[in-house]
Amino acid sequence: MLDATVAAARSVRRVLAGAGVPSLAIRGAVLAWLVIVGTAAVAVVMVLRAPERMPPAALRPSAGFPWVSEPATNTPSAAARPTYRPVAPTRPTPAGAPAGPLARAASTAVPTAATPSPVSAPPASPAPSPTPIPLGAEFAVERNGLFSYDAAVTIDNTGPSSAPEWTLVVILPRESLRMTSVEGARASQEGATWTLVPDGSAGPVPARGSIRVTFRVEGSPISSTPTACTIDGTACRGLPE
């Protein structure tokens, strides 16, 4: 560039000399030209040799487009000169459009099963009472004495199962008559009525079987025989007319 400048100055000098311009004026013009061209050449050389000293043009983000600042690398002043990169703007999802991955994940999440509330059990109904087994009974005088007699009541069960509970009722003619020596049952008195119920393990009547209840009545056999006898409300057989 300096050589081209000197050559151009010489050409100007020859042109001015051929035109008859005085030598002093030629020299002044050439000198002024050299100063101007030299200053410009020096400035160009400095710019070409030290491009990194020139500050880069600052990029200004546009008003309607978002930018994200990022630090520049591989330069001495990277910390002082942030760079910018564009970021796509977030647009709201229009109504009816498919949701994004986060929304789809939230919508497809398995709901937590609700803990069922404890349900109180209904109160247990009382067990039905067993159906009474129909029993039969037969009264008989086994031994007559002068002032007493021995009697027996045979209780029979024709059903398919045992009868553990039963009630035998014997009514004597007078309240003064006593029932003693009771076997096979437990006796209780209320006036002239005597009630006999099972006595321990000897009391149940086996299925299709029978048991005997024996007792003694303190009184004359002629006037102290029972006036009534029932087993679970059913009249006994064998009573005297």
Residues 6+ apart with CB under 8 A from 56: 81
> Residue 211: how many CB atoms within 10 A of its CB?
20
Two structure tokens written together for 200:
């321990």
Task: Decide the pairing of beta strands 148-157 and 168-171.
Answer: unpaired
pLDDT tens digit sequence for 88-114: 555 655 555 555 555 555 555 555 555
- Which positions ≥6 away from 193 have C-beta within 8 Å? 169, 170, 171
For a pLDDT cut of 70, what percent of the chain falls above it?
49
Show the tokens assigned to 225: 């025989």
With a CB cutoff of 8 Å and minimum separation 6, the contacts of 30 are 9, 12, 13
Q: What is the pTM of this model?
A: 0.47
* Stated length of the chain: 241
Higher pLDDT pick, 42 / 64: 42
Residue 165: C-alpha distances to residues 126, 183, 191, 211 (Å): 20, 16, 24, 13
